[in-house]
Amino acid sequence: MSKVRNIIRLYTEGVSKQSIGDRTDLPRNSVKKYIRLFLASDKSPEELELMSDTELEQFFMDMVPRHYVENDPRYIAAVAFFPGMEKALKHRENTKGKLWQQYIALNPDGYRVSQFKGYYIKWLKVRNPVMHMEHKAGEKMYVDYAGQKLHIINPESGEMIPVEVFVAILGASQLTYVEASYSQKKEDFIGSCENALHYFGGVPNAIVTDNLKSAVIKGNRYEPTLNEAFRDFVSHYTMSALPAAPYKPKYKALVEGAVKIIYRTIYGTVKERVYSSLELINKAIGTALEEHNNRLLQNRPFSRRQLFEETERQTLHALAAHRYELKHRIIVTVMKNNYVNLTEDKHFYSVPYHFIGKKVTLLYSQSIVEVYHRYERIAIHNRSRQPYIYTTVNEHLASKHRYMSDWNPNKFIERAEEVGPETKQYIIELLNTRQHPEQTYRSCQGVLSFAARVGKERLNNACRRALQYGDYGYQTIKAILERGLDGNTDVAEPGSDQPLPPHDNIRGKNYYR
């Protein structure tokens, strides 16, 4: 038994089985046998150390079926049935009770159901030993997606749209949260995780996820690489992220079990009806979920909800003051008019003038746009989705600080004067159309760029025509030049009263007398 104690001690210290065999002078199969028995025992090394050699030997002997049991034809038949049973239980429609009925049909004199299940559990522990997990209150939230999807129907086309089913469960109380979403993309995944936290009313120490791309960019047994948005989310709620090891579902067995349970409870209720929207199916899921959480646990006089309220609610950390907003990041160059362009919205935001020409980072969410230069935030704006509009902070503008850059009103007027008097006047009027001249610099640059493409004469004629209309902007000059209207300078003066040419479709003023 001293060798057995050494095997257990070395194993808990992380020594390999081969090395343990070398140190204890025992065959590797004997080492593996006692390690399997130790893991299946649910005993800690300290508890085993307190046993005497006689007690320890008896303890391990009791874990192995007696000799007379091993020679029992009923036991032999049951053990032969167990491997196929283990595979069959991987299918969600099978249960131990259902498979016992198949066993007893083949072996009418076999074990009754309780004895059959007991021998199967003992056989499984020795065959597939796993360390028993003790879940501490407030420690972890496990999340996963169900493999089987639900469906909603498009009321206009009648098309059946599959939806993902997200499941979250707290380790200690097993309080469960379920919701449907359109996809497993990071926006939906992070939104579902956040909804789970608000459903539980608090934040655990850690969140245990699968290795889906919305959470983990690159899976690794020791140091997985987290998705940047997901890392930002867990930081917002001061949690730790603990992705399960790749191809190791037993590391999140609790949520795997929860998924199997909701197949038999929530799915059975929700599938009875047809839903035309995500909101309606989530409402039905929510009703079934409350029944599930308030149902008494098997062989226990309390429910998940009662256990949560008594043991786990007070251990959760407080929720963040504001809900998390998913942020996107792009790198842009500050334009010479000291604005940056958020290309997704085609909207312009001002930044301090001394950053003109420098690379900056735009960090934007649904409501806020932040501008950073070398990790320092230099500007913040409320997000606007109006295209081709400028959001401005007056103190950012170069014109307020006598700052001369490559783009300023005087330089645009000087360049326009080289083209012609009408172009100069047009640029002056264009600069005056906005409250801040910086907002017109891009338009001025665009207008003056036509001189190199079509020539100064055509551009000057186009500006003359646009001045007569009183319409100022890059698109106006572009339209005149593309349609060749710059060659026709015979435009009626504003307020002139020229008679309309006769036409059959024109009734004339006499018609209304």
Task: Output 212 or 449, whichever has higher pLDDT.
Answer: 449
Same domain membership, residue 332 and residue 311: no
Q: Are 165 and 228 in contact (CB under 8 A)?
A: no
Same domain membership, residue 188 and residue 240: yes
CA dihedral 488, 490, 494, 498 (to 10 degrees): -130
Domain end point (choices 315, 340, 371): 315
* Residues 248-305: tens digit of each pLDDT: 555 567 777 888 888 888 888 888 888 989 999 999 999 999 999 998 877 667 888 9
Domain end point (choices 281, 315, 349): 315
What pLDDT band is residue 131 in, cutting at 50, 70 and 90? very low
Evaluate if residue 42 carries a pLDDT over 90: no
Evaluate if residue 232 carries a pLDDT over 50: yes
Same domain membership, residue 118 and residue 86: yes
pTM given for the model: 0.51
Q: In whole angstroms, what separates CA 453 from the centre of its chain?
A: 48
CATH of residue 51 = 1.10.10
Domain-located, residue 42? yes
Residue 341, SS3? strand
Nearest in space to 143 (alpha carbons), one of 232, 225, 239, 236 = 239
CATH of residue 205 = 3.30.420.10
Q: How much is the pLDDT for 281?
A: 94
Can you tell me the distance from the alpha carbon of 200 to that of 316, in angstroms, rounded to the nearest whole number? 9
Same domain membership, residue 293 and residue 233: yes
* Residues 452-480: tens digit of each pLDDT: 888 898 999 899 889 888 888 888 999 98
Domain-located, residue 306? yes
Q: How much is the pLDDT for 92?
A: 62
Residue for token pair 């909804």? 195
- Total tally of structural domains belonging to the chain: 5
Nearest in space to 97 (alpha carbons), one of 79, 84, 112 = 112
Domain of 426? 409-487
Q: How much is the pLDDT for 450?
A: 92
Nearest in space to 146 (alpha carbons), one of 184, 175, 203 = 184
Mean pLDDT for 202-216 is 78
Helix (H) or strand (E) holding 499: none
Q: How much is the pLDDT for 164?
A: 92
Q: How much is the pLDDT for 399?
A: 67
Residue 116, SS3? helix
* Residues 139-175: tens digit of each pLDDT: 888 988 888 899 999 888 888 999 999 999 998 888 9
Can you tell me the distance from the alpha carbon of 81 to that of 75, in angstroms, rounded to the nearest whole number? 10
Domain-located, residue 241? yes
Helix (H) or strand (E) holding 371: strand 368-373
Q: Which two tokens mark 469? A: 């209309």
Q: Which two tokens mark 463? A: 């500006």
Domain-located, residue 132? no
What pLDDT band is residue 401 in, cutting at 50, 70 and 90? low
Q: Find the range with the poorest average confidence among 363-367, 431-435, 470-474, 494-498.
A: 494-498
Q: Which two tokens mark 410? A: 């005087």
Mean pLDDT of the chain: 82
Same domain membership, residue 373 and residue 302: no
* Residues 305-356: tens digit of each pLDDT: 988 998 888 989 999 988 888 888 899 999 888 889 998 888 999 999 889 8
Can you tell me the distance from the alpha carbon of 164 to that of 21, in angstroms, rounded to the nearest whole number? 49
Percent helix, strand and coil across the chain, each rounded to 5? Answer: 50, 15, 35
Same domain membership, residue 298 and residue 344: no
